[in-house]
A and B are shown apart, each in its own frame.
Chain A
């Protein structure tokens, strides 16, 4: 169905819930705000965030003795003479999913040579920024009456968990069974091993056991949502460029070599339990929709560093997906 809406064959099914799913914001505040705005924009009842919330880079901004600010950002020297210029610079940094850190020259020099100092800086800015995000979500989404489910992803450090757990309106859903309307949902933030040794990686057999442990708690897996950060192996939702051990791209005949990097455990679980819907992120380049048996599996992809949020608007019915649409906002 192309020009027609993608609907289930059972058109008499009553809608149970409409939801918006997105993933892999990697510190982009603009995308987070869009994620929250998606609720009213798409007129859905629930928002699901599939993980990888935190950014990958901190941009040190030197507060100079003359009162101005300067930084090297994306290879360019940028300066700001006043607060207004600084605000613009900070916005540009945040737009790219990075964290601005304002400090004097000595502190920055210190951080450049001492990894422990950098680690502390990362920890602080990530947690602070995530707390701001959750506070905003708690305040606004409660007012709008839109349910919000958030889990970390493999790239998110452990310190994120306490921020999510302490949210008032936002529901931390990793590692537990929650209800999204009448549908049960299990969520797993972990991924199979990657070349980057991210915080939440486990071998495939462990990942299988982890997910199975949750799936066994479901009353009706065939009507459930599986919110699994890493996509299933060789599904078309998990194609990424192959890496060398030194984290350079591996080239074959002069070109990057795309390979499936998803999880065999996730694939096996989906094939065994055949949930209604499987939601994935992790591989930003592999936006797509596939059917694995009767399960509709979606990877929304990500383009966080251009300020665009990739998502999916999905309408569910009892044991059916009424509508689904990939959107870019």
Chain B
């Protein structure tokens, strides 16, 4: 064929490859887009609002900065294990397929049942948090600062009333559901607005704490508190009361006390793998781009938390924060929880400020709930494609929302929420159960990372992740790190009484090991009922 006869394929030299104009080839992807998706689960607000102050109480003398540093390799282990596997199998659809493909379909069901249970529990936690960490402290803050005793009483009531907890929880489920039913375009707009709002809440509080001297905060706090306590120095009174109650508010550094704090921070800091790789079908040039994005999504929030922790320690005093969290603020101004947002509002002394900050911050919980629900709807889809669930669950509305799968997910989660409320499972314990059961699934992804070079050698060799250190594949190292992290966090929560997890072992096992067992039983049931059809959905075809 002569040169002039050659048909034009629109070819180009593309980073070492010759590519032709063909459907699906997409130019480079800006990393910031997947970064946003990775930032949401571990957003610093969640850590600051739900775990930071609690962490200080479980590990007196422990260094939160050192703890955050120690969480970094844990976050990286999961990011790289998950990221490398996702890079290897780009359109896999998450842990279910990764584990099924690399290990065994039965283990895939274990993973999906554990991950889904974690999602249901997480949603229950978010539904609790909207009241206990949102509405209740908002009412208390506004009521106390503005002088509305009725509002203060209401804030106290809602945080302990099962009826109000269920009511406001239902509201957030409805909001989260409506967000998703509105379709992807609208949902993403809402997501990004909420993300900015939540971040703004934290930034505003940080700026206030940065530029307001500690002396000014103390003065403002005492001025505010004296009206209710009759004490002209409630600030130091808070510290003294805690000290008198046996709480060490200025403990000497203790490395052993740092360990439980590591486990607490892991509760929010190791979930930065939620993005999926988008960018066309040719695997992108950089072998680590996916994993790197996920790693950044885990590290950046930790850095931000460290910075803001330093700011708030400086602005409010670490001894005061420890005292307020462990022993509470003086009667009369004590609210449900002693959040940074509440203290910031007191420091400024403005009702409007309190309203703005809390409203900006509270949108975080429906935001998190929608992110969490994506996993459940995806699992339902995957199971329907495999013929395990009815085809009808994949119905989508005119805006492209899988409404039936969504409704199923939200109802299932609301049932879990009702149980949590009625069973008086503690606010933090719900989050811990979610963490521990999710760690089973995440550890299985770690196992997949360890095994993939050996169980799927062709897939591994053909991927971009063939790097090794001392002859050991990096993906295996990351997988081993993920497994060790999961084991460590489990050990920490069972070992340290202050974390409260080992107080009810049967309940713990029900929510963690239970789903894993259910996954195995479900697989066996599917095999029995569907016969060979169930097996062949995932079995690899021997190439001709």
Contacts and interface: CB of A to CB of B under 8 A. Distances in A.
**A and B held together in a complex:** yes
A74 B279 CA distance: 14
Contact of A327 (B284, B458, B526, B537): B537
A80 interface: no
B287 A76 contact: yes
Interface stretch (B2-10, B113-121, B290-298): B2-10
Interface stretch (A178-186, A204-212, A218-226, A240-248): A240-248
Nearest to A60: B18
A122 B18 contact: yes
Interface in A89-113: 91-93, 95-96, 98, 101, 111-112
Contact of B541 (A37, A116, A287): A37
A38 B539 CA distance: 11
Given A243-B26, A327-B537, A116 B3 contact: yes
Interface string A106-133: 0000011001111111110000000000
B385 A287 contact: yes
A2 B7 contact: no
B544 A140 contact: yes
Contact of A256 (B24, B33, B192, B543): B33
A2 B17 contact: no
A57 interface: yes
Contacts of A257: 184-185, 188
Contact of B192 (A26, A91, A254, A285): A254
Nearest to A140: B544
Nearest to A307: B459
Contact of A329 (B20, B191, B540): B540
Given A236-B396, A256-B278, A246 B27 contact: yes
B231 interface: no
B278 A249 contact: yes
A56 B20 contact: yes
B29 interface: yes
Interface stretch (B148-156, B210-218, B460-468): B460-468
| Interface class of chain B by DSSP | loop
Interface residues of B, number: 87
Interface string B65-99: 00000000000000000000000111110000000
Contacts of B533: 5, 325
A79 interface: no
A95 to B, nearest CB: 3
Interface string B378-390: 0000011111111
A285 B91 contact: yes
Contacts of A42: 536
A313 B15 CA distance: 39
A122 B22 CA distance: 12
B43 interface: no
Contacts of A191: 23
A247 B26 contact: yes
A56 B19 contact: yes
A112 B14 CA distance: 9
A149 B234 CA distance: 84
Contacts of B387: 2, 5-6, 325-326
A72 B188 CA distance: 37
Nearest to A303: B91
B394 interface: yes
Contact of B9 (A37, A96, A119, A241): A119
Interface string A58-80: 11100000000001111110000
B90 to A, nearest CB: 7
Given A91-B461, A95-B462, A123-B7, A52 B281 contact: no
Nearest to A258: B184
A33 B384 contact: no
Contact of A248 (B3, B16, B27, B90): B27
Contact of B400 (A5, A118, A258): A258
A2 B391 contact: yes
B192 A253 contact: yes
A289 B386 CA distance: 12
A253 B191 contact: yes
A122 B11 contact: yes
Contact of A37 (B92, B283, B543): B543
B466 A58 contact: no
A52 B23 contact: yes
Interface stretch (A162-170, A192-200, A270-278): A192-200
Contact of A247 (B7, B25, B278, B396): B25
Contact of B27 (A6, A57, A197, A247): A247
Contacts of B26: 241, 243, 247-249
Nearest to A244: B27
A72 B16 contact: yes
B21 interface: yes
Contact of B1 (A120, A136, A249, A255): A120
Contacts of A96: 282-283, 462
Contacts of B462: 91-93, 95-96, 307
Nearest to B89: A306
B464 A74 contact: yes
Given A41-B542, A91-B462, A3 B529 contact: yes
Contacts of A243: 26
B11 A197 contact: no
Nearest to A305: B281
A191 B19 CA distance: 21
A37 B544 contact: yes
Contacts of A6: 387, 391
B541 A119 contact: no
A287 B394 CA distance: 11
Given A76-B464, A256-B33, A327-B536, A159 B7 contact: yes
Contacts of A284: 24, 91, 281
Contacts of A116: 3-4, 6
A123 B33 contact: no
Given A96-B462, A253-B188, A5 B530 contact: yes
Contacts of B393: 2
Nearest to B391: A289
A175 interface: no
A36 interface: yes
Given A56-B22, A243-B26, 10 more contacts: A56-B24, A75-B287, A122-B18, A155-B23, A197-B21, A255-B191, A258-B184, A285-B91, A306-B92, A327-B537
What 3 pairs across the A-B complex have the smallest Cβ distances?
A75-B285, A33-B543, A72-B16
16 contacts: A4-B530, A5-B530, A26-B22, A33-B544, A34-B541, A36-B543, A57-B20, A74-B463, A91-B461, A92-B461, A123-B9, A155-B23, A197-B10, A253-B191, A284-B91, A307-B459
